[in-house]
Amino acid sequence: MDFALSDEHRMLKELVARFVQDELMPLEAGVLAREADGKGLGIGAADNARLDEVSKSLGLWGLDAPEDVGGVDLPAVAMVGVNEELGKTITPYTLPPDSPNLRMLAATVNERQREAYLAPYVRGETISAIGISEPGAGADPAGMLTRADRDGDDWVINGRKIWITRAEEADFTILMAVTNKEKGARGGMSAFLVDKGTPGFNVLRKIPMIGGQATYEVALEDCRVEGWKLLGEEGNGFAPMQLRLGTRRIEMASWSIGMAQRALDMICEYAPQRKTFGLPLSERQAIQWWVADAATRIHAARLMTYDCAWKLDQGRDVRVEISMIKGYATEMAWEVVDRAMQTFGAMGMTKELPLQLMANRLRTMRIYDGPTEVHKWVVARNLMGSRR
């Protein structure tokens, strides 16, 4: 049993750490100022283009993309280290392409779709979104009402989607819809590639979220999609969607570890400097216990996440482990960041420190891609089901 990354993957993690330290963290002051002014969470087109240029020159594009479309095809274990480092900064930047949609595409595209969608996506030429949740069906995809009906060689989609990130700017959206109402999620759900500007794909509103983030609500009104843009096999969209969700959940666990580690580092740096009633905070037992508990829980979350990623790379069924790490890591990091804010006192309540954006991000992550309570239910259901 080996608890160390390979030299190659360790050096990659160190390279990403330097990229975060040298390129992303210097932009944090501007990110904080813009969010405090109500201008949302972003870095601007010029900075984004420069970061794209730098990250591409460092070989950080397409890290987990298939080699036959220009990727590096790294295993999940390597990506845990990459995403832990990216989680340490509040600067909103994604190394192209975004892994979850990438993984779903790679598992389902045919040759025509590979050239039209997957390859440009890996090259960083396009932006994607995914439409799963609906106003009445969030964490339960079996309650999905959006329908896709055949019309000759095409499909016509009608329904409503919500909480879609990047819906307005995405070049294409992977859209989930029911193609067989009787079968539902068990053989009756399909995925479609819907291009930006397709008639009937109507962005209804931008929804402001906490921490300067935003999502969108979309209405599908007789939205006609060409037959060749059915992604994967008809009725078999649920499993690829779960692959996509699983990829994001491992990312979230890794990001959470990164955020918690940075918050812990901030406590350890600040506590010896700040004196209260004649003693530094580092001499207070409450702070000492917070530090010890945080270090222990971060270590546990890190080991759990690497274990899950390793099993995934071995081809094992990791649905239970993914639910464990998604729930545990996000809740753990939420509490560690909260302790850091408490340690900093009034300064921890300001929008001048990155802690508040970390807290807001973690608060949404405790809901996104399955609330903690649902993941606990998944774990318990599987355990008790296996005992029966």
Q: What residues does each domain of the chain span?
A: 7-99+116-123, 128-231, 239-384
**Right CATH number for 128-231 from 2.40.110.10, 1.10.10.10, 3.40.50.10260, 3.90.550.10?**
2.40.110.10
The model's pLDDT over 106-159, given as tens digits with 9 standing for 90+, comes to 999 999 999 999 999 999 999 999 999 999 876 677 789 999 999 999 999 999
Cα–Cα distance, 327 to 63 (Å, whole number): 26
Structure confidence at residue 113 (pLDDT) = 97
pLDDT at 186 over 80: no
Residues of the chain with pLDDT > 90, as a percent, come to: 94
Token pair recorded at residue 270: 């600040």
Structure confidence at residue 266 (pLDDT) = 98
Q: Where residue 187 falls among pLDDT bands split at 50, 70, 90? A: confident
Residues of the chain with pLDDT > 70, as a percent, come to: 99
Q: Where residue 2 falls among pLDDT bands split at 50, 70, 90? A: confident
Is 139 within 8 Å of 374 (Cβ atoms)?
yes
pTM of the predicted model over 0.85? yes
Structure confidence at residue 181 (pLDDT) = 87
The helix or strand, by DSSP H or E, that contains position 206, with its residue range, turns out to be strand 201-208
The model's pLDDT over 324-373, given as tens digits with 9 standing for 90+, comes to 999 999 999 999 999 999 999 999 999 999 999 999 999 999 999 999 99
Q: Is the dihedral of CA 3, 6, 7, 11 positive or negative?
A: negative
**Average of pLDDT values for 24-36?**
97
**Average of pLDDT values for 53-70?**
96
* Ramachandran angles phi, psi of 232, nearest 5°: 80, -160
Cα–Cα distance, 43 to 74 (Å, whole number): 28
Q: Is the dihedral of CA 12, 127, 100, 231 positive or negative?
A: negative
Q: DSSP 3-state helix, strand, coil percentages of the chain (rounded to 5)? A: 55, 15, 30
Structure confidence at residue 140 (pLDDT) = 74
Q: Which residues contact 261 (CB under 8 A, 6 or more apart)?
A: 84, 88, 298
Cα–Cα distance, 339 to 263 (Å, whole number): 9
Cα–Cα distance, 246 to 316 (Å, whole number): 13
Q: What CA–CA distances, in Å, run from 310 to 114, 269, 338, 373? A: 27, 33, 30, 25
Structure confidence at residue 387 (pLDDT) = 52
The helix-helix angle for 238-270 and 319-343 (nearest 10°) equals 30
Q: Is the dihedral of CA 87, 89, 92, 94 positive or negative?
A: negative
Q: Minimal CA–CA distance to 101: which of 308, 260, 302, 243?
A: 243
To the nearest whole number, what is the mean pLDDT of the chain? 95
Cα–Cα distance, 47 to 49 (Å, whole number): 5
What does the DSSP 8-state code read for residue 228? G
Q: Where residue 386 falls among pLDDT bands split at 50, 70, 90? A: low
**Average of pLDDT values for 250-271?**
98
pLDDT at 4 over 70: yes
pLDDT at 51 over 60: yes
* CATH code for the domain defined by 7-99+116-123: 1.10.540.10
Q: Where residue 13 falls among pLDDT bands split at 50, 70, 90? A: very high
Structure confidence at residue 209 (pLDDT) = 94
* CATH code for the domain defined by 239-384: 1.20.140.10
The model's pLDDT over 223-237, given as tens digits with 9 standing for 90+, comes to 999 999 999 999 999
The model's pLDDT over 64-90, given as tens digits with 9 standing for 90+, comes to 999 999 999 999 999 999 999 999 999
Q: Are strands 128-131 and 172-178 parallel, antiparallel or unpaired?
A: parallel
Token pair recorded at residue 180: 């067989």
Cα–Cα distance, 332 to 90 (Å, whole number): 18
**Average of pLDDT values for 93-115?**
96
